[in-house]
């Protein structure tokens, strides 16, 4: 049986999923009509129960599976979707932080940077690093020094490239453990990785 929820039915499902899969109907930011609710219940995507006179809605396993298969479903163009987006962000950020994933890694430039551009930026990072260390490896360089050596490169692009180079084990991004060493420039230039600031980098080879 093919299930084709309407855009408003899909919005109801996603609004509940954003809260862990269940919630009170009265707490929706849009009007949940009987037709919207009953259509999902009939399709097996939603269950309803009563808490006194209050309607409690819960997404079924079938509803979760449907949502997982249709992440790009069209939703109504309404401001009612804004709280859902915020709920997802509130759950997403702790998830990324626990796994050490930077937000910049989740939202790369569409299609990725062109290979030649990426290679050129990586080469510039190497050149700046070795100029600052006088040709030495395994010597730490503060990120604010690296940024100052590449003033024409925007921060987002530099950060994405540094994260990619660390992922490929080309370099290491580290935190300054001794707070007494951390200056205002270090704080300003820090690169956030999973909710933790990285102040220095070094090439291991």
Element (H, E) at 162: helix 155-167
Q: DSSP readout, 99-137?
A: TT--HHHHSPPTT---HHHHHHHHHHHHHHHHHHTTT-S
Q: How many CA atoms lie within 13 A of 76 on its CB side?
A: 20
Query: Architecture of 103-203 per CATH?
Result: Orthogonal Bundle (1.10)
Task: Report the pLDDT value the prediction gives residue 110, as an integer from 0 to 100.
Answer: 53
CATH architecture, domain defined by 7-98: Orthogonal Bundle (1.10)
User: Taking the model in full, what pTM does it have?
Assistant: 0.52
- The packing angle between helices 155-167 and 115-132, to 10°, is 90
pLDDT value of residue 197 = 92
In the chain, where the domains are located: 7-98, 103-203
Among 39, 42, 32, 27, which Cα is nearest to 12's? Answer: 32
Q: What is the pLDDT along the chain (205 residues), one digit of tens a residue?
A: 567 899 999 999 999 999 989 999 999 989 999 999 999 999 999 999 999 999 999 999 999 999 988 888 888 888 888 888 888 888 888 877 776 666 666 665 555 444 445 688 998 999 999 899 888 888 899 999 999 999 988 899 999 999 988 888 889 999 998 889 999 999 999 998 888 899 999 887 5
Distances (CA, A) of 33 to 30, 37, 45, 67, 99: 9, 6, 16, 20, 40
Q: Which residue's structure tokens are 């990785």? A: 193
pLDDT reported for residue 63: 93
* Residue 99 neighbours by CB under 8 Å, 6+ apart: 194
């Amino acid at each position: 049986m093919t299930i084709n929820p309407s855009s408003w039915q899909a919005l109801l499902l996603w609004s509940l999923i954003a809260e862990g899969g269940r919630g009170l109907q009265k707490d929706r930011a849009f009007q949940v009509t009987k037709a919207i609710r009953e259509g999902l219940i009939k399709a097996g995507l939603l269950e309803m129960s009563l808490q006194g006179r209050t309607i409690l809605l819960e997404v079924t396993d079938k509803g979760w599976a449907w949502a997982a298969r249709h992440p790009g479903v069209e939703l109504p163009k309404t401001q009612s979707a804004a709280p859902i987006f915020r709920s997802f962000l509130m759950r997403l950020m702790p998830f990324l932080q626990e796994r050490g994933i930077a937000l910049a890694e989740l939202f790369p430039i569409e299609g990725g940077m062109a290979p030649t551009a990426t290679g050129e930026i990586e080469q510039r990072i190497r050149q700046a690093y070795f100029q600052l260390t006088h040709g030495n490896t395994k010597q730490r360089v503060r990120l604010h020094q690296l940024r100052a050596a590449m003033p024409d490169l925007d921060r987002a692009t530099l950060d994405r490239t540094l994260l990619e180079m660390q992922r490929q084990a080309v370099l290491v991004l580290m935190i300054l453990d001794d707070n007494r060493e951390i200056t205002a420039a270090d704080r300003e230039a820090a690169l956030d990785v999973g909710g933790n600031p990285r102040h220095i980098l070094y090439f291991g080879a």
